[in-house]
Every structure is written in C-alpha cells, then in structure tokens.
Amino acid sequence: MSKYIFITGGVVSALGKGIAAAAIGALLEAQGLRVTIQKLDPYINVDPGTLSPFEHGEVFVTDDGCETDLDLGHYERFTHMRAAVVNNYTTGKIYFNVITKERRGDYLGDTVQVVPHITDEIREAIKSAASDDYDVNIVEIGGTVGDIESLPFLEAIRQFRYHVERENVLYVHLTLVPFIKTAGELKTKPTQHSVNELREIGIQPDILLCRTDRPIPPEMKRKIAIHCNLDQEAVISALDVETVYEVPLSYKTEGLDKFIEKKLSLNLPEPELKTWVQVVDRIKNPKYECTIAIAGKYVNLKDSYKSLEEALIHGGISNNSRVNLIWVDSEEIEAQGVEKYLSEVDGILVPGGFGIRGIEGKIAAVRYAREKKIPYFGICLGMQLAVIEFGRNVCGLSSNSTEFDPKTKDPVIYLMERWYNHRSGKIEERTADSQMGGTMRLGAYPTVLVEGTHAYEAYGSKNISERHRHRYEFNNKYRDVLTSKGLVISGLSPDTELVEIVELRDHPWFLGCQFHPEFKSRPIDPHPLFRAFIGAAVREKRELFL
C-alpha cells in the first residue's frame, strides 16, 4: 500500500510548501523510493488556465495537456515524476465533479453536503494519483490553515488516516519562526498558534518544518515540541538557503529523512545525494558567467516565468556558468529604445505570452539580437515574433499576427482552424464558441528535426516531444518567401503541417520554438535548448575567464 505525506502551511503564505514537498520527494527518491506529488488548491477556478500571471504566476503544462499550478513544476524539477491531470485538483474541479454526479443521479436522491460528498470526492482525488507504480504520494494543500476555502481539504485529509492504516499517513506542517530584530531573538508563538489551529480541526502534525533565516537552537526546538505535542526531533529548521536545490541537503542535515523513515515504518538506505551536491556546487562556484535579458511583460512578478528562470539556471549548470538575469519590460523598450536595455547582454530571450501589449518592444528586441549577432532564444510567442520581425525587416512584408491585427496584409502567424492531435488520433477544430476565442494546442506533441541545424545539434536526436500552450501558428503560405531569404525551418510536426522550430543562417545562435521547453528542464538534466543557448552566450566570453 502507498504511503501518504500531507503538507500544510500556516502563519503566512509563500513559505514554500511546493519546494518543501518537492525536496521531500527528492530525499525519498534518493533513498530508492518511487514518488508522486499532488497539489490540492482551494480556489474555485476549475484550473489556473484562465488566471492572470499577475494573479497566480505561471501556468505549468503537463504532457497530457493539463493546465496546472506552478508548484507542479517544482515537483518535476526535484523528482523523476511526470505530472498529469490527476496531480492537480482545485475546489472548482472537486465541486464540478460532485455537481455533475448529482445532476446525473449518482447520489440516489441524497442531500449533497460538504461532508461526506465533497470530502469523499477529495479523498478519491487523492487516491487517483496513487498507484502501485509509487511507494509514496506526497500531497500539498494550498493556502494556509485558517482559510475558509481550505477547510474541506483539511477535513478530507483528517479523515484519510481512518481509511488507511495509521502508519501509512504522515502530516507535515510548514510554519514561520521569525527573527524579531528589535527583540534580537526568534519567536515561536506564530508556530504555536498555527499548530493549535490545525489541532482544533483535528489534525496533529507529525513533523514541523520551521522556516527561519537562522538555525533554531536546541532549547527553542524543545520549547516548540512541548507546546505543539511533538518529539523534539520532529521540529526541523527549514533554513533559508542560497539556492532552492540546496533544500534536500538542508533537510538531510536536520535529520528529516530518518524521522520520516521512522514515522512511516520504512527501512531505507542512506540517501544518495551526490548529484544534488554537484548541482549546488555548480551554482555556487561557477567557472564562467553570462548575462541574459528576458524581454517580457510580466517581469514585475517573477513567478510568471518561474520554469523559465529555473531552466536558464539549469543551462548555466550544464555550462559551469552563473546566469545573471535582467528582466526587461518590453513596454519600456518601446518607450526608451532597445540600446538602453540590451547593449551589454550576452543573450536575449523573448518568452511566451498573450495579448498585444508590449509586442513592438519585443519585436525590437528580436531585431536587435538578429542584427547584432547576439544569441537569441524565442519561446512560443518569442518564435512567432521572430518570424514577424524577419518578414518585416528582411523580406519586406507587412507581416503580423492575426492575434494583434486581424486585418493584417501579411498574416505570417494566424489562427489555424484544423490540426491533427496525435494523442487522440483525431483532427482538432476551432469553433466560434471555443474558450477565449480558440482552442489551444496543449500538452506534448512530437517534432521531427532537420539534421545539420542548431536544434538537431542540441538534441542529438531526430525525433523529440515537447509541451505546447498556444493558439496561433506559423502560416504555411509564407514558408517559401521566408525560407528563400534565410529563415530555416528546423523542426516540423510529423505530418509537416505545423512549424515547430525556426532558425537563422549566418548567426551564432538564433532559434525560436513554438513549444515551451522550460517545462521539461531539470537541474540534474538541463533541457538541450537551454544548454545550447547558454553555451552560445558563454562561448565568446570564455577566454576572459581562462
């Protein structure tokens, strides 16, 4: 039977429950266990697909095309799991399922209530992610204890221990132990209150992860343990660290692996953490460095590009390089010119996005990278804008996307009406009532690479699969005119109808891809395109460091 670890949070939000879940998963994998991680979110949206990046950060996309919370990106980066639709449930999805069952008559006339119907549905959702393929299912509960939205989820996990053997369930609570500067000491009272509130709900935590900027002394751990009805060894200092990839090592130092092993009645070897030690060493002690400018419009909230930021760090790891990121608001480029922001950088990246705001600034960044021979990486929208810029300034077209100008004379990017979905084996069609104006191409799609290109050199393989999240596509009517002037189409769908990757001849490294490679990058296995991009950015500077 699978073991279950439930992770809750208290005191304040943004303490890092997602990182905690992922790091615990990494520790357990390092001990030879098979792990999956699930996020239960209390908001009423059915999924985060329609949420603004300013509101909720990035939307992470799984292979099966599910739009999920960004924490699933952490889970995949720290472990070998590949998330799917069952790894992310929201209040909206739970209630939608229950109401659908009620309308269908599944409850045989029962009065449908939060307990037992909603809590039973949550329990079934938790079980849906567990299977014989996994030894441990880690479940993160979004929000903080005390939020009214979280109560059904907390009640469901309280009941869970009664539906499986008690030794198969572990409750981990993440709290804050702040240092009060005026008093000159750490304070435990917020943690005590948070645990008391959790206990009032009926959950006694087994482990406390205490976020703190300095080690918690033994006498203070003893105080927390006494007030929270815990063993002292169950009080873990969750220290601030230089890089999130150091968290599994920090937890190991605190003895978290041994305590989890004891509480879940496991008999495990010492965790093999050599790879994580190497990753942290590469990040902290790089041989080289480079500066990458990210020209986007959500730059005031870095979580909007969380997977992208991490993938660039991974590219640095593989090139033994520190990657310094400059976040550039593309509207500022429009207002003040491209030279002010991009003249001193070693590489330029334009990420994905939706809407017309800041588009001309991004196109100016693309042109600057092309003309100044600066390594360029365009992702999703960044690829589309590379095609638009090339069409305008090299081919003499009045090129644009119908997303920005429905009446453009040269729609080099347009809304494709039909395409083949290899997962369903069916032709997908857009309809007038499709969500937000068109069905998106979501999830993993195959791509065939052309030999002798940057893309093929990076992957070292002809056939790849990458995750997508977009509506607009390269317009095949313009293939000939664009390629005749030097645009290289280096990646196509197997049926050759969908352009997936474009490059430029006579440029050190200029590549745009329609998919989102950042979603599949890991610190222990950096994505090939990020490895190649950072390699190109570092290449011309290496002699300065030798």
- Beta carbons within 8 Å of 147's beta carbon, 6+ residues apart: 42
- Beta carbons within 8 Å of 231's beta carbon, 6+ residues apart: 225
**Segments forming the whole domain that contains residue 194:** 3-278
Q: With 60 as the cut, is the pLDDT of residue 436 above it? A: no
Out of 380, 500, 503, 513, the active site residue is: 380
Query: Could you say which of 248, 278, 308 is where a domain stops?
Result: 278
Mean pLDDT over residues 301-328, rounded? 93
Residue 23's alpha-carbon distances to 41, 185, 261, 525, in angstroms, are 19, 28, 15, 16
**Count of CB atoms situated within 10 Å of the CB of 291:** 15
Our answer to whether residue 428 is catalytic in this structure is no
Mean pLDDT over residues 21-47, rounded? 96
Mean pLDDT over residues 109-138, rounded? 94
Q: What is the pLDDT of residue 57?
A: 81
Q: Dihedral of the CA atoms 306, 312, 318, 319 (nearest 10)?
A: -160
Does one domain contain both 269 and 298? Answer: no
Higher pLDDT among residues 165 and 382, named by residue:
382
What CATH number has the domain bearing residue 213? Answer: 3.40.50.300
What CATH number has the domain bearing residue 448? Answer: 3.40.50.880
Does one domain contain both 212 and 334? Answer: no
CB 398 within 8 A of CB 408: yes
Our answer to whether residue 380 is catalytic in this structure is yes
Q: What is the pLDDT of residue 122?
A: 97
Q: With 90 as the cut, is the pLDDT of residue 98 above it? A: yes
**pLDDT 10s digits, 381-435:** 999 999 999 999 999 999 999 999 999 999 999 987 666 666 666 766 655 444 4
Mean pLDDT over residues 255-270, rounded? 94
Q: With 50 as the cut, is the pLDDT of residue 369 above it? A: yes
Does one domain contain both 403 and 513? Answer: yes
Q: How far is CA 326 from the centre of its chain?
A: 20
Percent of the chain with pLDDT over 90: 83
Does one domain contain both 192 and 316? Answer: no
Q: What DSSP character marks residue 33?
A: -
Beta bridge partners of 377: 349, 511
- Beta carbons within 8 Å of 426's beta carbon, 6+ residues apart: 420
**Count of CB atoms situated within 10 Å of the CB of 303:** 15
**pLDDT 10s digits, 528-544:** 999 999 999 998 665 54
Does one domain contain both 354 and 269? Answer: no
Q: 65: which 2 tokens?
A: 């095309």
Q: What DSSP character marks residue 349?
A: E
Q: 57: which 2 tokens?
A: 């950060």
Mean pLDDT over residues 13-17, rounded? 90
Does one domain contain both 50 and 184? Answer: yes
CB 119 within 8 A of CB 152: yes
Does one domain contain both 317 and 253? Answer: no
Query: Could you say which of 228, 259, 278 is where a domain stops?
Result: 278
478-484's contacts with Cβ under 8 Å and 24+ in sequence apart are 478/391, 478/397, 478/399, 478/410, 478/412, 481/391, 481/395, 481/397, 482/387, 482/390, 482/391, 482/395, 482/412
Does one domain contain both 253 and 317? Answer: no
Q: With 70 as the cut, is the pLDDT of residue 147 above it? A: yes
The three-class DSSP label of residue 171 is: strand
Does one domain contain both 244 and 373? Answer: no
User: 116: cis peptide before it, omega within 30°?
Assistant: yes
**pLDDT 10s digits, 474-522:** 999 999 999 999 999 999 999 999 999 999 989 999 999 999 999 999 9
- Beta carbons within 8 Å of 35's beta carbon, 6+ residues apart: 25, 28, 29, 79, 80, 81, 134, 135, 136, 137, 138
Does one domain contain both 468 and 527? Answer: yes
Query: Could you say which of 278, 312, 339 is where a domain stops?
Result: 278
Q: With 60 as the cut, is the pLDDT of residue 227 above it? A: yes
Does one domain contain both 373 and 414? Answer: yes
Mean pLDDT score of the chain, rounded to an integer? 92
Q: What is the pLDDT of residue 429?
A: 64
Please state the domain count of the chain: 2
Measured at the CA of 53, the angle between CA 313 and CA 329, to 5 degrees, comes to: 65
Q: 106: which 2 tokens?
A: 């599944």
Q: What is the pLDDT of residue 28?
A: 97
Out of 309, 503, 518, 527, the active site residue is: 518
Does one domain contain both 418 and 357? Answer: yes
pLDDT band, residue 203 (cuts 50/70/90)? very high
Backbone angles phi, psi at 42, to 5 degrees: -80, -5
Residue 228's alpha-carbon distances to 35, 45, 157, 361, 543, in angstroms, are 29, 34, 19, 54, 57
Q: What is the C-alpha separation between 546 and 541, in angstroms, rounded?
A: 9
